[in-house]
Amino acid sequence: MQDALEQKAALSAKYPIFLTRNMDMAKAWVRSAARGTERFGLACSSGAHRLRPFGITVEAKVDPKGWFLNEATDVRSSYYLEEVATEFDIQGLELDWMIVAWDADLRYANGEWEYLSFRGTEWNRIMHPTRKIYLKNANRVLLTRARQGMIIFIPEGDRRDRTHLPEYYDGTYDYLRRIGIEEIDGA
């Protein structure tokens, strides 16, 4: 963790990274960060199936060409922050500013990363080492697509929904705060 703290401190001045649990705040931040024709957008892993309460549906496939190239007035463009790109859509491509929406498929709990997939109505542990590497790399792709800065959105969870419990998200959020990612909120 010390290495992560040092790297974050070195990046802060030139490359802002923030953290929030409020999607409206994330959208406001990325819109205010962009200047002129700088492009911004919303991305999450292809396994982020429990971000639906926030209007993020990975099953609705984005047209990458339109998402990356359409004008700010086009509802299909990344500027609208309505269509979400996954690691498959953005691998090898970049935007100036990003919102990375983090679901419970990769979560930090009890001092280690847990790898899960959502099937049917529940989260299932990923046991196969190759699939774990794939999930880790999917998140690495997401976290390296912004040229100028990003904000990471992690939901608070909901006790009424057993697939979206707060403890699925709290460990990851706390970990990212501990390594120096500054939190912004609506207060």
The pLDDT tens digits for 146-155 are 999 999 999 9
The pLDDT tens digits for 25-83 are 999 999 999 999 999 999 999 999 999 999 999 998 899 999 999 999 999 999 999 99
- Structure tokens, 157: 């969870």
Q: What is the mean pLDDT of the chain?
A: 92
**Region 109-126: what's the mean pLDDT?**
96
Q: What is the pLDDT of residue 142?
A: 95
Burial level of 158, CB count in 10 A (0-12/13-18/19+)?
Answer: middle
CB-based contact 88:48 (threshold 8 Å): no
Angstrom distances, CA of residue 151 to CA of 44, 96, 110, 128: 12, 12, 24, 30
**Region 156-181: what's the mean pLDDT?**
95
Confidence check: pLDDT of 2 > 70: no
CB-based contact 82:143 (threshold 8 Å): no
pLDDT band at residue 91, thresholds of 50, 70 and 90?
A: confident
Confidence check: pLDDT of 24 > 80: yes
Q: Which residues pair with 40 in a beta bridge?
A: 97
Q: Which helix (H) or strand (E) holds 133?
A: helix 129-142
Domain ranges of the chain: 2-181
Single pTM value for the model: 0.92
Q: Are strands 106-109 and 112-119 parallel, antiparallel or unpaired?
A: antiparallel
Confidence check: pLDDT of 99 > 60: yes
Q: What is the pLDDT of residue 187?
A: 47
- Number of H helices and E strands in the chain, helices first, is 6, 8
